[in-house]
DNA sequence: AGCAATATTGACAGCGCTATCACGCAGTTG
DNA sequence: CAACTGCGTGATAGCGCTGTCAATATTGCT
């Protein structure tokens, strides 16, 4: 036979219904859609629920209704501040809504991502937000099987699973390099850490821009698979100086590296931007406050999270999402670290600043 | 009568059982405890499940078993890097375990915290990790009603709900001030932003230390309710200079502020540490890389998350947790920004450095 | 071989909630 | 006055899984 009897202290919908003198289904309706219950019963149910300290059982609700109000969110890293901004947007958007967020961390691994997607599936999520466009075929299949709205964030791509919001890392980086070229820089280094797909694309943008200007030189590129950090910025920069002593600018694939480069320049008494210009990526808050202030590429991370979440909600709730692929763009914020006053007057003069070692 | 018939494509335990030629309960066991099923059936079930693409239904499992494998985690902020380190520890600890994390953000509001705890209750979490010790009475009651292991993190207190892991913010700050006093600093400022309970306690530690040294002066304290940022560090420091022009050191309630102070000093050509010593709090990665390197109070945030998570798991799984209140301590990491060479030889000399405005 | 101890397996009855359909009752409508 | 509409309500039958306990197969031991 079955299991042991119901625990006496347990408060279920039924208990509330009994106390309020209505049927359980009415109480159920009250909790999901108070308007559909008449005012009199509404009050009785409300007070009964409060008296008994009733708490709805989400598992039972999910099982009976065959759906949940869980949004799965997959990001590659918790440490990377970039994602905390995106997350803040996501959490803000769902704030006060009935949805709750299930966050998981892929650690930049597509296999891990696959595993986590499989886990999400068991929850029958109402929506999914995933990072990037580089899911495995298997991963895409799993997402598709979830049969719910999906938004890919952080990047743009030609083949969205469902919806997509991001910007072009290639173009953003090219724009930063163009800015440096316009300032008269010629020996522009590239520093990258972690080298996840997005950083790879920034590197691609760098290469495109440098090749187009006929200034490409592989010795100008220093990268590492190690995660980014300020200290790493300093080390990579030191390596770069060894490989390319005639450097006149550094593009850093993110702002932590840029800060590390700035510190290393201070340490070596290299004048910024006079001897070396610095440009970062993401425009973290501290960039505007450094001495000199640091140029960076602003990316709309908070807005990305916010809008991704809104797109998911709209889709779930049947509101038509017309713009299913959103390019949020970027902006090169020019600050002291890359602004060479002479550039404004003389304009870029090829070779002008590439005059060998300057320290 | 009931509802419409079962959708044909749906794969349940029953379908897998039928294909494998065993009873549903055996399949259930296979998924939860493969060892309890004989090898032969194990293989048959495994291949049947794979063939059908079976995905367990967590809601049904939770309902039937009356428990979940969800750990609720409540933190005040996603933006504050301090918490991302803690979170990393938590996520790492649960990595590969059967538990999943439900993260929510209280935004430094105890009412919000209460609301979120109530939401967590509906999920019947297997464990709870909450930040700080300042829950409302109502909040504590809700947590208690959850009837699961609870760990309070980030702080220590005399009245733990269940388990607790953290360190004394009062002592940590006092230690930092003592260090500055030992360096001969006398006019030590305090900069704080956000002023959440933990920052308040650091302020308390500052006051204790300064009063004990008979050096307390309210003009040395500048705080704001606004969230912390590097830029804010610069502004607060500027305010402080106006109120106390004879300043010889600044303790910053966190490292972002300290970085802002450093930049502001560079901007004003104030020598660090000769004219003004700087000490931060948390020992973020960039502190060691700044020029000069910045002194800070190291707090073991990653370990805190890791161990909090481990404590919850141990408790859930019936392993006895003997140390239910863990003091993780702290360490003042002395770096260039607060190391006055003369202090080592001459020792602290009262009034020596408090010789009025120096810039 | 005989029997107890152990390892596997299965039948049954829910877990607490909601989808579905049915129904009563006011207010309309022709 | 019958037929119709629509709201508010309720009865019923599961949603897909697992706890419980009984039944059966296997093993070890005398």
Are both B27 and B114 inside the same structural domain?
Answer: no
Are both A177 and A162 inside the same structural domain?
Answer: no
Residue matched to tokens 């505007």: A288
Are both A130 and A225 inside the same structural domain?
Answer: no
Are both A178 and A290 inside the same structural domain?
Answer: yes
Name the domain count of chain A.
3
Residue B109 resides in a domain? yes
For residue A156, give the CATH number of its domain. 3.40.50.2300
* Helices vs strands, H then E, count in chain B: 13, 12
In this model, does residue A145 exceed pLDDT 80? yes
Closest listed residue to residue B41, CA positions, set B13, B17, B61 = B17
- pLDDT (tens digit, 9 = 90+) per residue, A49-67? 999 999 999 999 999 999 9
B343 versus A157: the higher-pLDDT residue is: A157
Are both A135 and A210 inside the same structural domain?
Answer: no
Q: According to DSSP H, which parts of B213-350 are helical?
A: 230-243, 255-268, 301-316, 341-346
| Average pLDDT value over all residues in chain A | 91
Q: CA torsion B95→B100→B102→B108, rounded to 10°?
A: -30
Half-sphere exposure of residue B344: CA atoms within 13 angstroms, side-chain side: 5
Residue B243 resides in a domain? yes
Report in angstroms the alpha-carbon separations of B151 from A296, A326, B142. Answer: 40, 41, 14
Coil/strand/helix, residue A238: helix
In this model, does residue A352 exceed pLDDT 60? no
Residues 51-70 of A with CB under 8 A from B: 53, 55-60, 62-63, 68
Identify the pLDDT of residue B10. 83
CB distance A102–B102 less than 8 Å?
yes
Cα separation, B171 vs B225, whole angstroms? 23
User: For strand C, is any atom closer than 7 Å to the CB of B3?
Assistant: yes
Identify the pLDDT of residue B63. 94
**Can you give the distance from the CA of residue A297 to the C1' of nucleotide D23 in angstroms?**
71
- pLDDT (tens digit, 9 = 90+) per residue, B139-181? 999 998 888 999 999 999 999 999 999 999 999 999 999 999 9
User: Which chain B residue shows the shortest CA-CA distance from A266?
Assistant: B291
A173: containing domain: 169-297+332-346
Q: How confident is the model at residue B318 (pLDDT cuts 50, 70, 90)?
A: confident
In this model, does residue B58 exceed pLDDT 60? yes
**Can you give the distance from the CA of residue B36 to the C1' of nucleotide C4 in angstroms?**
22
- pLDDT (tens digit, 9 = 90+) per residue, B78-89? 889 899 999 999
**Residue in B100, B233, B267 closest to A291 by CB:** B267
Closest listed residue to residue B354, CA positions, set B261, B246, B273 = B246
Residues 264-303 of B with CB under 8 A from A: 266-267, 285-286, 288-291
For residue A50, give the CATH number of its domain. 1.10.260
- pLDDT (tens digit, 9 = 90+) per residue, A74-93? 999 988 989 999 999 999 99
Are both B91 and B235 inside the same structural domain?
Answer: no
- Determine the straight-line distance between the first and last CA of chain A, rounded to whole angstroms: 86
Residue A187 resides in a domain? yes
Residue B326 resides in a domain? yes
- Strand D bases near protein CB (under 7 Å) are 8-21
Contact B156, B166 (CB under 8 A): yes
Are both A206 and A282 inside the same structural domain?
Answer: yes
- Average pLDDT of B331-354? 66
Are both B227 and B260 inside the same structural domain?
Answer: yes
- pLDDT (tens digit, 9 = 90+) per residue, B227-280? 999 999 999 999 999 999 999 999 999 999 999 999 999 999 999 999 999 999
Given its phi and psi angles, is residue A92 left (phi above 0), alpha (psi -120 to 50 degrees) or beta?
A: alpha
Query: What percentage of residues in chain B have a pLDDT greater than 70?
Result: 92
In eight-state DSSP terms, residue B7 is: P
Closest listed residue to residue A337, CA positions, set A294, A297, A296, A298 = A294
Residue B355 resides in a domain? no
Residue A353 resides in a domain? no
CB distance B84–A88 less than 8 Å?
no
- Average pLDDT of A296-305? 97
Q: How confident is the model at residue A347 (pLDDT cuts 50, 70, 90)?
A: very low
Residue B208, Cβ density class (10 Å: 0-12 exposed, 13-18 middle, ≥19 buried): middle
B112 at interface of A, judged by CB pairs closer than 8 A = no
Distance from CA of B56 to the nearest CA of A (A): 6
**Sign of the four-CA dihedral B117, B119, B121, B126:** negative
Residue A352 resides in a domain? no
Identify the pLDDT of residue A96. 85
Are both B286 and B221 inside the same structural domain?
Answer: yes
Residue A225 resides in a domain? yes
Are both B209 and B274 inside the same structural domain?
Answer: yes
Structure tokens belonging to residue A4: 């042991």
Identify the pLDDT of residue B239. 98
Half-sphere exposure of residue A154: CA atoms within 13 angstroms, side-chain side: 24
Q: From the alpha carbon of A66, which nucleotide's C1' atom is closest?
A: D15
Are both B173 and B269 inside the same structural domain?
Answer: yes
CB distance B285–A229 less than 8 Å?
yes
Which residues touch A277 (CB under 8 Å, ≥6 apart)?
A180, A183, A185, A248, A249, A250, A295, A337, A338, A340
In this model, does residue B359 exceed pLDDT 80? no
**Can you give the distance from the CA of residue B42 to the C1' of nucleotide D26 in angstroms?**
17
Task: Write the DSSP assignment of A12-58 as a string of letters.
Answer: -HHHHHHHHTS-HHHHHHHHH-GGGS-HHHHHHHHHHHHHHT----H
Query: What percentage of residues in chain B have a pLDDT greater than 90?
Result: 85
- Average pLDDT of A297-306? 97
Cα separation, B209 vs A29, whole angstroms? 59
| Average pLDDT value over all residues in chain B | 91
- pLDDT (tens digit, 9 = 90+) per residue, A227-263? 999 999 999 999 999 999 999 999 999 999 999 999 9
Are both A38 and A83 inside the same structural domain?
Answer: no
Identify the pLDDT of residue B344. 42
In this model, does residue A146 exceed pLDDT 70? yes
């Amino acid at each position: 036979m079955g299991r042991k009897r119901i625990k006496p202290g347990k408060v279920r919908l039924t208990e509330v219904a009994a106390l309020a003198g209505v049927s359980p289904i009415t109480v159920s309706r009250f909790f999901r859609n108070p308007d559909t219950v008449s005012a009199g019963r509404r009050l009785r149910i409300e007070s009964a629920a409060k008296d008994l300290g009733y708490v709805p059982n989400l598992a039972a609700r999910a099982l009976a209704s065959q759906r949940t109000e869980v949004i799965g969110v997959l990001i590659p890293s918790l440490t990377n501040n970039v994602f905390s901004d995106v997350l803040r947007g996501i959490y803000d958007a769902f704030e006060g809504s009935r949805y709750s967020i299930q966050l998981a961390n892929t650690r930049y691994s597509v296999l891990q991502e696959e595993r986590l997607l499989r886990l999400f599936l068991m929850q029958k999520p109402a929506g999914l937000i995933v990072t990037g466009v580089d899911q495995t075929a298997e991963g895409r299949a799993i997402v598709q099987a979830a049969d719910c709205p999906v938004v890919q964030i952080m990047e743009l791509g030609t083949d969205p699973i469902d919806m997509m919001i991001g910007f072009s890392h290639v173009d953003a980086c090219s724009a930063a390099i163009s800015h440096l070229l316009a300032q008269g820089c010629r020996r522009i280094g590239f520093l990258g850490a972690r080298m996840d797909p997005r950083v790879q694309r920034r590197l691609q943008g760098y290469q495109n821009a440098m090749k187009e200007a006929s200034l490409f030189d592989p010795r100008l590129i220093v990268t590492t698979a190690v995660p980014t950090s300020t200290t790493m910025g300093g080390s990579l920069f030191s390596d770069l100086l060894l490989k390319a002593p005639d450097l006149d600018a550094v593009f850093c694939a993110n702002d932590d590296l840029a800060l590390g480069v700035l510190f290393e320049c201070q340490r070596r008494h290299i004048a910024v931007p006079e001897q070396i210009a610095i440009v970062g990526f993401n425009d973290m808050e501290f960039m505007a406050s450094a001495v000199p202030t640091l140029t960076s590429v602003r990316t709309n991370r908070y807005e990305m999270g916010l809008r991704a979440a809104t797109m998911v909600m709209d889709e779930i709730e049947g509101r038509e999402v017309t713009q299913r692929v959103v390019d949020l763009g970027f902006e090169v914020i020019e600050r002291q670290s890359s602004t060479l006053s002479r550039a404004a007057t003389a304009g870029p003069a090829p070779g002008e600043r590439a005059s060998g070692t300057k320290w």
